[in-house]
Amino acid sequence: VAFGPEGDLWLELGERQVHASRELLDLVLLLDGERSRAELAASLPAEGASAAAQGILLDQLLGRLAEAGLLASEHDDEEPYFAGYAHPAVHRTMLQDESRTIAFRQALEEVVSPGDVVCDLGAGSGILSLFAAQAGAERVHALEASPLADAVVEIVARNDQSDVIQVHRGLGEDIELGEQVDVLVSEWLGHFVSTEGMWASVAKLRDRSLKPGGAIVPSRVTWYLAPVGPELLEEGPGYWDAPRYGYDLSPLKAEEVSRLQSEVRVILAGALLCPGLPLAELDCTQAGPDEAWIDVELTFRAERDGPLTGFCGWFDAQLSPGVLLDTSPSAPLTHWQQHWFPLPPRPLAEGEELLVRLVIEPSETDERSPSYQLWVNGERTTYPR
């Protein structure tokens, strides 16, 4: 601990330092590795504060220490991916997507039988575990690797499900459940399926912990692709072809083409040049950990005149025999929206064919973030994400 020029306190460790308050110093003295989160929160000097308010204060203080690099957490060696999922806003977005959330609830109502043991891999806010319990599960293993797992314990208690739902914090594929399960549910679906690379964990857990003949939710996922027409001309590199505000800005076109990126955005069904074709199908009951990475060729025939301005990707997921979650441009909008692969506009006439190959593989820098290579009639475009 050091004093600043104003007599203020600084906490220092090597080159790192953080401005210290009385609460922060109290907390540091308590961080002896022996105390639970609840004990730490309760010992903070926040007189008369509710347990929730003390929890928030604790998070803020721990956050300041972590930001300054003064707090080594057991998750320091974990990926930033899980730190991202610790933020409730991500879960709010998913819960606000009612098409998604209600589809999962309906699927669990269909698939879970009273007395079943269910495993929810990547429980997040705990919502699917609560649905599974509601559907009659005798026991639900809620597995969550992000720090949010602690909040899920509290959520489960507040909803009187502690007898049914057991929360396990850690990587799902490493956790010992101590039993085989009747149903494995996981909302592992990233943008255009493969983003986040979570399928590998689901496949490993399935092979280790799902009873023979047990159900997996979703049971099948299908990627789709369709060429996009003039409706998105102004949204990609084609924007620079026309004068803007009376000026020729076209040199920016080549610049944009040299660094094209795929984008999550809404694409309306009317923008497609022909119906989408299934690219690939993942049979979740059997597919191996690497099978959410794909390399596929297919041929489209334009059903109206272009220009071709790019491709639109989406997926659907068979959650249960009676529930299909569809993210296509003609289905109700979900938080996945659609996936847009912009291209420099090229002429395309009705009836013309496009031979397309799409490779989706983990990017070299981040295995959870896909890179895409798209060949159209032999010409390749690479999208780093």
User: For residue 300, what are the CA distances in angstroms to 186, 231, 359?
Assistant: 33, 18, 17
Residue 235 known to be catalytic: no
Helices H, strands E: what count in the chain? Answer: 10, 18
Indicate the DSSP class of residue 149. H
Contacts of 106 (CB under 8 A, 6+ apart): 319, 320, 322, 323
Q: Which of 187, 234, 263, 367 is catalytic?
A: 187
Please report how close the Cβ of residue 339 comes to ligand SAM at its closest, in angstroms.
16
**Shortest CB 214 distance to ligand SAM, Å:** 18
Cβ atoms within 10 Å of 197's Cβ, excluding its own: 21
Residues contributing to the site for ligand SAM (CB under 6 A): 82, 85, 91, 94, 121-125, 127-128, 143-146, 171-173, 187, 198, 201
Cβ-based nearer residue to ligand SAM, 127 or 360: 127
Closer to ligand SAM at the Cβ: 64 or 169?
169
Distance CA 142, CA 152 (A): 9
CB of 151 to ligand SAM, least distance (A): 11
**DSSP 8-state assignment for residue 168:** E
Chain position whose Cβ is nearest to ligand SAM:
122
Dist CA 264 CA 245 (whole Å): 28
Exposure of 242 by Cβ count < 10 A (0-12 exposed, 13-18 middle, 19+ buried)?
exposed
Q: How long, in residues, is the chain?
A: 385
Nearer to ligand SAM, 123 or 226 (CB): 123
What is the nearest approach in angstroms of ligand SAM to the Cβ of residue 67? 20
187 part of the active site: yes
What is the identity of the amino acid at 26? D
Q: Give the Cα separation of 124 and 161 in Å (integer).
A: 16
Instruction: Give, as one character, the DSSP assignment of residue 295.
Output: E
Query: What is the closest distance, in whole angstroms, from the C-beta atom of residue 45 to ligand SAM in the complex?
Result: 32
d(CA 279, CA 298): 7
| 143 vs 155 by CB, closer to ligand SAM | 143
Residue 144 zone, left/alpha/beta (φ > 0; ψ -120 to 50; rest): beta
Catalytic residue from among 47, 110, 138, 196: 196
Residue closer to ligand SAM by CB (options 122, 342) is 122
Give the integer Cα–Cα distance in Å for 212 and 140: 18
Q: What angle do CA 136, 140, 143 make, to 5 degrees?
A: 150
Tokens representing residue 232 in the block: 């998105």
To ligand SAM, the closest distance from the beta carbon of 341 in angstroms equals: 23
Question: Which stretches does DSSP call E strand in 156-219?
Answer: 165-169, 181-185, 210-217
Closer Cβ to ligand SAM, 24 or 117, answer by number: 117
Least distance between ligand SAM and beta carbon 382 (Å): 27
Closer by beta carbon to ligand SAM, 147 or else 307: 147
CA atoms within 13 A on the CB side of 192: 28
Q: Position of tokens 């909040």?
A: 151
What is the set of active-site residues? 187, 196
